[in-house]
Amino acid sequence: MTVGEEIRTFVNEKHFPQWGIIGSIIGLVFILVPQLFYTGTLGEPFSMFNHYVSELGELGVSEFAMMFNIGLMLAGIFFIPFMFGLGLYLENILGKIAAVIGAFSSLSIYLVGIYPMNNATMHGITAISFFLSGLVMTVLWALAILMQRNVKIPKIFSLGGFINTAIFALFLYGPWESLGAIRPVFSMRVTLEWAIYFAIVSYMFILALYVWRIEKNAESLQEYSQSFQE
């Protein structure tokens, strides 16, 4: 088997959904658990309404910062083959473009874990890279699903992509104020960032789980048919 064939097997319909499922689970567990043990600089507990996602990875403040940062790195790694596999699975040019943008977005997630808030410059660059690429990626996935000729994923699933795109756009371009010296009880900008997190992880998990179940059922049916013929 050539290197190209090995790579294609790595991201084929049998394997790529698994990377998406694993990446999503890691993204949930490694990012949500640190909230339970977080104590801020003023002794405050963590709140999704006034603490940014990245604050969970701030070394010296977040008790489980390393868990959070490692979780981002692992999730980013697992999502890269998932993105390429999904792009090939959809069998259209938009899917392939979305796969490349999605892989870049996944790499950005990985780099956010490498550069936590303590490294403000690099963290800012990697974070905005994720948000901008995520905006483009989600609309491309939605359009790629909507424009399938050979429908493998129901076109209604494109709705999830458009919802993600809307949340990204609201976060990036809405008239929301950043956190000031005094942390408010509620920040729309912070809340939207958490909405992005839940929306994108949920969307990737749903797509991955759907393809995995469809391909698993097809494989079982094929095995049953072969055994029946024998």
Dist. CA 59–CA 74, nearest whole Å: 18
Dist. CA 189–CA 57, nearest whole Å: 18
What mean pLDDT value characterizes the chain?
Answer: 94
In the numeric block, which tokens belong to residue 107? 């790499």
Phi, psi of 39 (to 5 degrees): -135, 120
Confidence at 134, pLDDT banded by 50, 70, 90 = very high
Q: Is the pTM of this model over 0.85?
A: yes
Q: What is the DSSP string of 86-127?
A: HHHHHTSHHHHHHHHHHHHHHHHHHHHHHS-TTSHHHHHHHH
pLDDT at 178: 84
Dist. CA 13–CA 175, nearest whole Å: 42
> What is the rounded (10 degree) CA torsion for 194, 195, 199, 202?
50
Dist. CA 175–CA 128, nearest whole Å: 17
Average pLDDT rounded to a whole number, residues 91-106: 98
First to last CA, the chain: 29
Asked whether the predicted pLDDT for residue 106 surpasses 60, the reply is yes
Calculate ∠ Cα 61-104-56, nearest 5°: 10
Lowest mean pLDDT among 82-96, 117-131, 174-188: 174-188
Dist. CA 223–CA 178, nearest whole Å: 56
